[in-house]
């Protein structure tokens, strides 16, 4: 879809980058993206990260002042104009949005690009816009909607024309549902209707997340679900959750500055149980649940990674004469063996 949409409107710039103990064994498997102590330090060093996504091959990508970085579990590979090997014509990236096999990349000084993570190729998307800085972009009904310097533009590829839809409002978040397009930020939540954005929630917004047939909206007072039919369901944001993401089971994951994680169902906004541990206090800006259910958090303290824990530690009194436990690591799996009266 994206290739057909973009083909007439970009010029191509090709960049080549090209298991046994007797009686009992319990096996625990790790995530596919292993994080060692060294790679954990790498993640924590990435402070100025603006955006995160996962490609079709399962790699996690980060975007920020440094460019586009791919994390493979142990190291970062960064694409930027300053990298002679993984070279692209831009460095400072504000937002990446996955569309099919490609990313739409919004940059600080080089407008908009299509980037193919599988090959490292980048292609310029030519927009007739007055600003070289683009902070966010989304495609809706075969049109580009671009947030640039307190303005939202609608760009129509078929005609090459651009129209200003929002002027002098902070609406840096752009999300779409099955039927509607929304813009949100410090000036509230706006909904596109009849080619015009209208204010529907006035409170300053910290996060919007598209899920099912609606939109999750977080502000300091409430957690809202805006249904595509126009109805709004709200509950108090008592624990001050500041950002959210869609989960793999079609629920929503939330996090606050204390590192507390919550999970809610939609459209009822009912809290449900989850297995994520509490993280350290931080200021989270964005979160993503990857395909293996690992939660990635962009924050003021760098990038944090949290996996759900399904193990419950139950203390036992071993009032027996013979008991022995052994633990070993074999091919990235933990093997626990017991002998005697055991666990």
| Nearest by Cα to 296 from 320, 266, 261 | 261
Q: Are 215 and 175 in contact (CB under 8 A)?
A: yes
pLDDT at 69: 95
DSSP 329: E
* Element holding 69 (H helix, E strand): strand 67-71
Residue 4 CB contacts under 8 Å (≥ 6 apart), including other chains: none
CA distances from 23 to 172, 188, 316, 320, 325 (A): 59, 61, 19, 17, 11
Rounded Cα distance between 208 and 183, Å, is 9
Q: What's the CA gap between 89 and 67, in Å, rounded?
A: 10
Residue 164, SS3 per DSSP = strand
3-state SS of 108-145 is: CCCCEEEEECCCCEEEEECCCCCCCCCCEEEEECCEEE
Catalogue the E-assigned strands of 141-283: 143-147, 151-156, 161-167, 173-176, 181-185, 188-193, 196-201, 205-211, 214-219, 222-227, 232-236, 241-246, 252-256, 261-264
Backbone angles phi, psi at 325, to 5 degrees: -125, 140
**CA angle at 91 for the pair 87 and 94, rounded to the nearest 5°:** 135
pLDDT at 149: 86
For the chain (length 343 residues), average pLDDT per consecutive 10? 50 38 31 48 80 96 96 91 95 97 97 97 92 96 94 92 92 96 97 95 97 95 96 98 97 98 97 96 96 95 90 58 71 70 47
Q: Tell which residue, 140, 187, 182, has the closest CA to residue 167.
A: 187
pLDDT at residue 97, rounded to an integer: 97
Are 49 and 308 contacting, i.e. CB atoms less than 8 angstroms apart? no
Structure confidence by residue, pLDDT tens digits, 239-293 = 999 999 999 999 999 999 999 999 999 999 999 999 999 999 999 999 999 999 9
Q: What is the bridge-based pairing of β-strands 333-340 and 143-147?
A: unpaired
Radius of gyration of the chain (CA): 23
pLDDT at position 163: 92
Task: Give the span between the Cα atoms of 207 and 170, in whole angstroms.
Answer: 13
Which two three-digit tokens encode residue 94?
């504000």
Kindly state the DSSP code that residue 271 receives in the 8-state scheme: B
Q: What angle do CA 23, 316, 342 make, to 5 degrees?
A: 15
Dihedral over Cα of 197, 182, 147, 123: its sign: negative
Token pair 């990635």 is found at 296
Question: For position 20, what pLDDT does the model report?
Answer: 33
State the Cα–Cα distance between residues 224 and 234, nearest whole angstrom.
Answer: 4
Backbone φ/ψ region at 155: left (φ over 0), alpha (ψ -120 to 50), beta: beta
Q: Are 179 and 191 spatial neighbours (Cβ–Cβ below 8 Å)?
A: no
Tokens 């090997």 sit on residue? 85
């Amino acid at each position: 879809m994206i290739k057909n949409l973009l083909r007439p409107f970009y010029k191509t710039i090709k960049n080549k980058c090209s298991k046994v103990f007797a009686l009992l064994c319990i096996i625990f498997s790790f995530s596919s993206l292993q994080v060692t102590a060294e790679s954990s330090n790498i993640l924590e060093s990435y402070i100025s990260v603006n955006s995160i996504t996962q490609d079709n091959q399962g790699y996690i990508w980060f975007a920020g002042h440094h460019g586009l970085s791919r994390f493979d579990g142990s190291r970062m590979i960064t694409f930027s104009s300053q990298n002679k090997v993984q070279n692209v014509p831009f460095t400072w990236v504000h937002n990446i949005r996955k569309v099919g096999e490609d990313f739409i990349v919004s940059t600080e000084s080089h407008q908009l690009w299509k980037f193919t993570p599988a090959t490292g190729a980048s292609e310029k998307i030519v927009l007739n816009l007055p600003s070289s800085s683009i902070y966010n972009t989304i495609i809706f009904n075969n049109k580009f909607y671009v947030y640039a310097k307190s303005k939202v533009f609608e760009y129509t590829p078929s005609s090459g024309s651009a129209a200003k839809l929002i002027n002098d409002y902070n609406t840096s978040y752009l999300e779409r549902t099955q039927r509607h397009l929304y813009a949100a930020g410090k000036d509230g939540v706006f909904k596109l209707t009849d080619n015009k954005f209208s204010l529907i929630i006035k409170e300053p917004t910290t996060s919007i997340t598209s899920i099912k047939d609606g939109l999750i909206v977080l502000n300091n007072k409430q957690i809202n679900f805006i249904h595509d039919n126009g109805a709004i369901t709200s509950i108090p944001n008592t624990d001050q959750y500041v950002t959210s993401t869609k989960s793999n089971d079609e629920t929503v994951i939330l996090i606050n500055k204390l590192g507390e994680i919550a999970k809610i169902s939609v459209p009822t906004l009912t809290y449900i149980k989850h297995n994520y541990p509490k993280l350290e206090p931080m200021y989270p800006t964005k979160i993503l649940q990857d395909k293996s259910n690992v939660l990635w958090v962009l924050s003021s303290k760098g990038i944090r990674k949290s996996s759900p824990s399904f193990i419950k530690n139950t203390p036992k009194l071993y009032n027996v004469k013979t008991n022995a436990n052994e633990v070993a690591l074999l091919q990235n799996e933990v093997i626990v063996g017991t002998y005697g009266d055991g666990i």
